[in-house]
Structure 1
Amino acid sequence: MRHLLLAALAAASLAFSPVQAGEAKPFATAKTIDLLTLLKPPPANDSAQTRTELGEVLTIQVTRTPDMEAAAQADAVENVWRFANVMGPNFKAESLPVFSAFFDRVVETEGAVVDPAKDSWKRPRPHQYSPLVKPVVKISNSGAYPSGHTTVGTLMGIVLSNMVPEKRAEIMARAWAYGENRIIGGIHFRADVEAGRIAGSVIAARIMEQPEFQSEFAAAKAELRKVMGL
C-alpha cells in the first residue's frame, strides 16, 4: 500500500510540475465570475470618500516605518509562499510540487477574474490621483479597483486555511496584512482593498464548488499536510 501511495504522489508531482506555472489555467474567468455585477462601483474621483482615502494614504506615507515599507515591498510578490512565516520551515516550493502547481492556478484565477473589472472601472491609483503620493512599491498604472493583490491574498488565505484549519486564524491574519500592505505601500486606496477582500471571498466560494477544483485541492492538501507532519 505504501509503495502504491508513493507512486501515486510521484505521478501527481509530474502532472503538476512547477515548470508548468507559466501555463497555469485559471479555475474561473470574468465570464464565469463577473465582478462588475457583484461589486459596487469605486468611489468617484471627485468624491469626499476619495479625498478621505487620499488623506489616509498621505498620513501613512509620513508615519510608516522602514519595517513597514520593507513588508509592503516583500508583499508585492503574488504567490502563496508569502504565507511561509505562519506555515513553518517545511513550507517550501521544492517540497510541495503538487501544492505549488495547484496554487499557480489559484493565482491565475485572480488575474483572469479581476483584470477585466479593473480595465472597465479604471479607477486611478493614489499616485495617479495626486503627485504628493510617493509609493514605496513597484508602480502600476492598471486600474486600482479592486486591488488584485488583496483579492489574491484573500483567495489564497481562504483556500490555504481550508487545508490547514489548525492555523486558520494566523493564515487569515496574514492575508489581511497582505491587503493592508497595499495601502502602506502607497499603491492602493482603502476602497480598493476592501473590494479586493470581497472579490477574493466570492472567487473562493465559487471555485470551491467545482469538481475539478475539489479534486486538485484534495491532492494538494494531502501533500501539504504530509510534508508538514499534520
Structure 2
Amino acid sequence: MPVLARSLLFCLTLSGAGVALAAPAAAPYLSANQFQLADYLPPPPAIDSPLQQNDLKAVLAAQAARSSAQVSQVQQDDEWEDSVFHFARESLGGGFSVERLPLTQAFFRRAQEDLVQFLMPAKHSYGRPRPYEASSQVKPVLPPPEGDSYPSGHSMNGYLNATLLSMALPEKRSELFNRAQLNADSRVIAGVHFPSDLEGGKISAAVLVARLLDDPKAAADFESVKKEIRGALASAN
C-alpha cells in the first residue's frame, strides 16, 4: 500500500472522522512483509465465551460510571496528529514540544507508519466486532473508528510512546507507563474497545519496539532522538 494511502487509512482508523491530515506522509522504517503481528498475539475471546461476556460487562460498567470529565479526556486522547507530544505533555513539561524536537517528531511519525502497516493486517485477521457492534447496550462517545476491535491501535500507540520515551528518560518510566494505561483505558470508557483489545495493543507495542530497534536506521535515529530530548528538556529548566 502506498505511504500516503497508509497515512490516510491510519488517521481515519484511529482518530475518527473530521480530523485534518496536516502532516506530510512519512515512510515506515520496516518492510511490510518483515513479520506478522498476529503471530505474536493470543486470539481475542471467542464470541460466545465467558471471557467475551466478561469483556462486555467491563465495557458496560465503564459506561455506567463515566463522567463528563472522562468523556472530555477521551475525546482529547482520540486525536492522533503528533500524538506523542500530547501523550507526554504532563509528564515531560513544556520543553517536550514539536517546535523544540524536530528529530523526535520525524522519528515518531515514521514509527506510527510502521505501527499501522503491521496493525491493520492483524485487526483484519481477527475480525473482532467492536463493543457497540457486539451489543446495542454500548453507547460510544466517539465517532465509530474504522477497522476491527482487536488489537487496539490507540493502546499500541500509547505503549509504543511510553516504551520509547522511557528508554530515553528512564527516570520518567513510571509516569509514562501510567499515562499509557490511562490512554488505553480511555478506549473502554469511550465504548470503542474491550479490555482484552488493550492487552493486545500492549503486547503489539513491545513487539514493534523490539523490531524497530533491531533496524540499524531506526536505532541510529533513536539515538539522536534521545540526545535531542535530553537537550530540549535541560534547556527548558
**Range class of TM-score, shorter chain:** 0.7 to 0.9
- Correspondence 1:85-100 to 2 at 5 A: 85-100=90-105
Shift of 1:134: 0.8
Give the structure-1-normalised TM-score.
0.87
| 1:152 is the counterpart of 2:152 | no
Counterparts of 2:97 and 2:146, CA distance in 1: 32
Greater mean alpha carbon deviation, residues 63-72 or residues 194-203:
63-72
Q: 2:60 maps to what in 1? A: 58
Query: Of 216, 224, 229, which residue of structure 1 is paired with 2:229?
Result: 224
Cα 1:46–1:141 shift into 2, 3 Å: farther
Tell me which structure has the larger Cα radius of gyration. 1
Q: Find out whether 1:80 has 2:98 as its counterpart.
A: no
Deviations 1:134-186 (A, max 9, x none): 11123114110000110111111101111111211111111111111111111
**SS class of match (1:174):** helix
Specify the alignment match of 1:32 in structure 2.
Answer: 34
The number of aligned residues is: 212
| Ranges in structure 1 where 5+ consecutive residues have no aligned partner | 1-18
Q: How far, CA to CA, are the matches of 1:69 and 1:28 in structure 2?
A: 36
Aligned amino acid, residue 85 of structure 1: E
CA offsets 1:2-31 (integer angstroms, 9 cap, x no match) = xxxxxxxxxxxxxxxxx9943211223552
Structure 2: which 5+ residue stretches go unaligned? Answer: 1-20
Q: CA RMSD in A?
A: 1.7
* Aligned pairs for 1:10-29 within 5 A: 21-28=23-30
* Distance (Å, rounded) in 2 between the aligned partners of 1:210 and 1:35: 16
Distance 1:38 1:26 in 2: 20
SS at 1:95's partner residue? coil
Question: Deviating runs (4+, > 4 A) in structure 1?
Answer: none
Percent identity, aligned pairs only, is 36
TM-score w.r.t. the length of structure 2 is 0.85
Q: Deviations over 1:36-64 (max 9, x none)?
A: 21112211112111111111111111111
